[in-house]
């Protein structure tokens, strides 16, 4: 059966104390919204609709960056979760099957939990995801007998006895799309908050003789982000899980608690990750590669057998083929390093292609930016770039060519050639001693004054 998703992301998130819409705050390098969209994507939804409101433009841009095809509807005024879902109606026109409602600020719902909800739909017209709360606080309370859900009472509207219930509403709800839209279309707002509560669809469905049910999950899955402290908590929870998963998948983490993963980091089996390594978005590390201590990587690919660091920075577009060696204090950006390339120390390679087996000497810089435009440096196979070579792009160094240390290379170097672009050395025998004597005399004269 087809499934659609509605992701509620219109709220301001006042308690974040931020100019940024809440769902754009990041955990593991990705906006909260992407976490929710990823959780929902596991159901292979036919349609995804994001309900934006505060910062709608920025929120839709982020939503589209994750899923180009997703629908965006704008809820101009936040009149409640039920009203928010009703706004999705036009975007869900003609869609059949079930609809799952998620919150954009609740990043950790597991795909297995959503699947359990879809399975429970065989028994109930409306399925709500609940959890046993250690501190039920202001969550909506589920009035249920076993799996059978009678209704949901919001904290504000609850009696003392109802507030004592610890089975709480996560906010995730699933029902047939047409039924859900029909129900949210008939909601009233006669309650303590004066809002159109999505939670009221349970009672409305039951009045029509339909059944509602509860599926439960661990409280950790329903962690919602309302404050910066909860954002930090969410980050810690994500990292703890990502580290445990990496270890389970056969990755060595020398000091797991110091490694930070992004939502989309992929690390192959038998890779070794040293202490204090940070992965930004878009990193793939193949099996058996090694990332040494204190490296920062984003938007890059490190192949089998390559080793990086300590203290290296790989920026977007860094592509390291098999057995490449990148050493300390090296920065690589938008550059392809073919098999076996060595960049051992203190170098910057930006907008470059480096052919297999080439050695890049210490202190080499591709001067890729002229203040206005970026230019590419092309270095062939098995070339030797002497230490402290400045390669002023656009420039090409041919296969097997060599540049002398300290050269500033401004013109193309043909294959097999040696290029020297530096001042010729001058040697003055005996001059050093004379120079020192003159200087010492000067100092002595100054000290007398």
Q: Which of 4, 199, 303, 396 binds ligand UD1 (CB under 6 A)?
A: 199
The 8-class DSSP code of residue 425 comes to P
Q: Which of 71, 80, 282, 361 binds ligand UD1 (CB under 6 A)?
A: 80
Q: For ligand UD1, which stretch binds (CB under 6 A), given 42-50, 192-200, 232-240, 373-381?
A: 192-200
Contact between 55 and ligand UD1 by CB under 6 A: the answer reads: no
Chain positions 15 to 54 lying near ligand UD1, rule: CB under 6 A, are 51, 53
* DSSP secondary structure, 196-264, as one string: --GGGHHHHHHHTT--EEEEE--GGGG----SHHHHHHHHHHHHHHHHHHHHHTT-EESSGGG-B--TT
Of residues 399, 419, 402, the one with CA closest to residue 411? 419
Q: Which of 45, 107, 130, 140 binds ligand UD1 (CB under 6 A)?
A: 140
Contact between 361 and ligand UD1 by CB under 6 A: the answer reads: no
Q: Which of 105, 203, 351, 388 binds ligand UD1 (CB under 6 A)?
A: 105
Q: Give the ranges where 77-200 is alpha helix by DSSP (H).
A: 81-87, 111-120, 160-163, 177-185
345 as an active site residue: the answer is: yes
- Min dist. Cβ of residue 75 to ligand UD1 (A): 5
Q: Give the ranges where 350-423 is alpha helix by DSSP (H).
A: none
| Candidates 25, 83, 124, 345; catalytic one | 345
Contact between 158 and ligand UD1 by CB under 6 A: the answer reads: no
Beta strand 126-132 with 167-176 is antiparallel
Q: Which of 40, 71, 171, 357 binds ligand UD1 (CB under 6 A)?
A: 171
Burial 32-67 (b: 16+ CB within 10 A, else e): bbbbbbbbbeebebbbbbbbbbbbbeebbebbeebb
Measured CA angle at 409 (ends 404, 414), to 5 deg: 80
Q: For ligand UD1, which stretch binds (CB under 6 A), given 197-205, 230-238, 265-273, 323-331?
A: 197-205
- Min dist. Cβ of residue 184 to ligand UD1 (A): 11
Euclidean distance between CA atoms 6 and 88, whole angstroms: 7
Look-up: residue for tokens 């409640």? 80
- Min dist. Cβ of residue 82 to ligand UD1 (A): 7
Q: Mask 296-335, x = binds ligand UD1 (CB under 6 A)?
A: ----------------------------------------
Residues that bind ligand UD1 (CB under 6 A): 8-11, 51, 53, 75, 78-81, 83-84, 103-105, 139-140, 152, 154, 168-171, 197-199, 224
The residues annotated with a catalytic role in the active site are 345
């Amino acid at each position: 059966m087809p499934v659609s998703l509605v992701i509620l992301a219109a709220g301001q998130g006042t308690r974040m104390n931020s100019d940024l819409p809440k769902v754009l705050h990041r955990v593991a390098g990705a906006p909260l919204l992407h976490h929710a969209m990823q959780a929902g994507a596991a159901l292979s939804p036919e349609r995804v609709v994001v309900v934006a409101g505060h910062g709608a433009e920025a929120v839709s841009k982020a939503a589209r960056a994750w899923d180009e095809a997703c629908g965006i509807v704008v809820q101009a005024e936040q009149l409640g979760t039920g009203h928010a879902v009703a706004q999705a109606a036009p975007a869900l026109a003609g869609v059949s099957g079930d609809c799952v409602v998620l919150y954009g600020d609740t990043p950790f719902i597991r795909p297995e939990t959503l699947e359990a909800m879809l399975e429970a739909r065989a028994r109930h017209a409306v399925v709500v995801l609940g959890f046993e709360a250690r501190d039920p606080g202001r969550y909506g309370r589920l009035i249920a007998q076993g799996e059978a859900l009678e209704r949901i009472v919001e904290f504000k509207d609850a009696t003392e006895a109802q507030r004592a219930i610890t089975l709480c509403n996560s906010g995730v709800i699933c029902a047939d799309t047409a039924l859900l839209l029909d129900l949210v279309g008939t909601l009233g707002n006669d309650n303590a908050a004066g809002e159109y509560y999505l939670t009221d669809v349970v009672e409305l469905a039951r009045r029509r003789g339909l059944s509602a049910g509860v599926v439960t999950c661990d409280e950790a899955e329903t962690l919602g982000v309302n404050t910066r402290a909860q954002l930090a908590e969410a980050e810690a929870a994500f990292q703890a899980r990502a580290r445990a998963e990496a270890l389970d998948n056969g990755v060595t983490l020398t000091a797991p608690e110091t490694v930070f993963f992004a939502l989309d980091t992929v690390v192959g089996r038998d890779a070794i990750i040293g202490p204090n390594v940070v992965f930004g978005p878009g990193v793939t590390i193949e099996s058996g590669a090694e990332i040494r201590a204190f490296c920062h990587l984003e938007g890059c690919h490190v192949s089998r057998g390559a080793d990086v660091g300590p203290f290296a920075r790989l920026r977007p577009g860094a592509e390291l083929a098999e057995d490449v060696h990148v050493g300390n204090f090296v920065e690589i950006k938008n550059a392809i390093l073919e098999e076996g390339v060595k960049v051992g120390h203190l170098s910057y390679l930006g907008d470059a292609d480096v052919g297999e087996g080439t050695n890049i000497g210490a202190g080499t810089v591709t001067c890729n930016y002229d203040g206005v435009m970026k230019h590419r440096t092309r270095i062939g196979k098995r070339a030797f770039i002497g230490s402290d070579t400045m390669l002023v792009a656009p420039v090409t160094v041919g296969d097997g060519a060599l540049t002398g240390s300290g050269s500033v290379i401004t013109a193309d170097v043909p294959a097999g050639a040696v290029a020297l672009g530096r001042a010729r050395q001058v040697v003055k025998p005996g001059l050093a001693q004379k120079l020192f004597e003159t200087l010492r005399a000067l100092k002595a004269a100054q000290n007398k004054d």
